[in-house]
Chain A
Amino acid sequence: MSADPGTEIALDHTGDTVTVRVTGELDLSCAARFDLAMSGAFELGDRWVVDLSGVVFVDSTGVRCLVRAWRESLRRGTRVEIVGVTPAVRRVLDLTGLTGYLLERPDSDVA
């Protein structure tokens, strides 16, 4: 059995919303898989959620993945919703100045 738990990326399609759920480390090792999952999500639905609640680490490559997904979603007219932001992820988004761009909600705090 491998000691490396790896990173899981799951695609969940409910109605017209597609959720990409990342568990583990969002970094170079899974960047290509994440991009692929996002491409699938963009084809499958009209609303997109990236759930990062299981992410323990994100590096600059992971940040690049999120920026790419965010940019593509805007190009398609609906901003991707990034949820489940853990403190580790939040720290990186804060440092890179992305919090205001990536986590900004069109209707803030409307449950």
Chain B
Amino acid sequence: MPPVHAPSALDDPIRLAAVAEAGLFDSEREDAFDDLTRLAATLMGAPFALATVVDSSRAFWKSCFGVPLDGPRESTADDSFCQHVVASGQPMVIGDVREDPRTHDITAIDTMGVRAWAGVPLLAPGGEVLGTFCVVDVVTRDWTVEDLEPLRVLGAAAGREIALRAAVRSEHDARTRAEALADTLQEALLPPSLPAVPGLDVAARFHAAGGGGQLVGDFFDVFPVGGGRWGTVIGDVCGKGVEAAKVALLARYAVGVAAMHSPECAEVVRWLNDTLRARGPEPDLFVTAIYGTFTVESDGCRVRLAGAGHVPPVLRRRDGAVELLEVGGTLAGVFPDVVPGEIEVRLGPGDALVLYTDGVVEARADGEAFGEERLLELVARRDGDAGTLAAAVVAAALEHCGGEASDDTAAVVLRMPVA
């Protein structure tokens, strides 16, 4: 039986135009994609991970972790696993490719020993399916839902990389597109709203350097990590522009993926450091970050934080007492074998934890930085919900430097409501 294919989807002219626009066909291997496939293969314990682009006749392997440098970099489209993802636009997971009618006679089963395949669509900025982001194993696998989550987030990161390039490449309307993309990226790095956490008041505020429209280097999020626990991350890439945004995305995804695999905050921070260091021998851009987990209980919230050289959060007790939490650790992406700083606190009713980026304390007027003292005074004075407190921190820093922030400024607040 010939492979089941769907020529209509492969030949869709809009899709083919998007493939051409992406400009990835027959291009060299690049770190931006190789970082992501390496991460996918490592996380999923698979020997191969690929980012592919498929036109009407060929499946080109833009990145192919595990394939030797002089190895193959493509197959024909109708002899590929990817064609089915392109046709359906949906993820495809096959535990034993020899048993599946869609894939049982694909040549790579013999030539590369492929036994298991899992992939998600690789999307163009306009949503067209360019190809796949996939992992390949040489033994049969019972893929789990946990396996697919890293693929989904890393595949999305690969898609954003493509979107980033599309924006940067375009000459005639580069600025407009870069600004549109900055907004898209900003949503990936700085979600416009945080999820509702039962029993806890969480809020974030952000002000972009120079009033916006630029690529940001700050990121934060709050997300469930399973078992009733939540994770939160805040981080800051030293630097600005495209490179900083790429590093911020990689850092954000590394933390998100690691958080699903380890309940230990310090382990997640170590993973962040290793991921950033794996970018290459000359990682000029570093990241400071705090990753924390928290569990909301009836009478309080237990928070564990692990740090990578990030500015210290402020703990505000209900009565207005404030302290800096010196989480410690070393900035991520430069040194091997860093030891993350760790701290644990308990938020009682009315207590709040304020996480922020260095744009807050480094905001300057006439050479004088806003600084930790002013921040502590401000937080001590300011009672109210998480949103009010986060907004007050960002506004005060902005006001201090006369409304013209030279750095991104972010604040995330977790506050235990008064029962």
Contact = CB atoms under 8 A, between A and B. Distances in A.
Contact of B334 (A57, A61, A67): A67
Interface residues of chain B: helix, strand, loop or mixed (majority): loop
Interface residues of A, number: 18
Interface stretch (B49-57, B65-73, B175-183, B307-315): B307-315
Nearest to A25: B367
A96 B330 contact: yes
Contacts of B331: 63, 96-98
Given A28-B406, A64-B239, A97 B308 contact: yes
B284 A68 contact: yes
B80 interface: no
A21 to B, nearest CB: 19
Nearest to A97: B330
Q: Could you tell me the dominant secondary structure of chain A's interface residues?
A: helix
Given A64-B284, A98-B309, A98-B331, A59 B341 contact: no
Nearest to A101: B335
Contacts of B367: 25, 56-57
B328 A60 contact: no
A61 B240 CA distance: 10
Given A25-B367, A60-B236, A63-B238, A97 B309 contact: yes
Interface string A94-111: 011110110000000000
B369 interface: yes
A18 B187 CA distance: 47
Contact of B309 (A56, A64, A95): A95
B338 interface: yes
B358 A60 contact: yes
A92 to B, nearest CB: 9
A97 B341 contact: yes
B400 to A, nearest CB: 14
B91 interface: no
Nearest to B331: A96
B351 interface: no
A63 B362 CA distance: 13
11 contacts: A25-B367, A60-B288, A60-B358, A63-B331, A67-B286, A95-B326, A96-B330, A97-B309, A97-B330, A97-B331, A97-B341
Given A57-B369, A61-B238, 13 more contacts: A59-B358, A60-B236, A60-B358, A61-B239, A67-B334, A95-B326, A96-B288, A96-B331, A97-B309, A97-B338, A97-B341, A98-B330, A100-B330
Interface of A: 25, 28, 56-57, 59-61, 63-64, 67-68, 71, 95-98, 100-101
Give the 9 A-B residue pairs with the shortest CB-CB distance, closest first: A97-B330, A96-B309, A97-B309, A60-B238, A96-B331, A59-B362, A64-B238, A97-B329, A60-B358
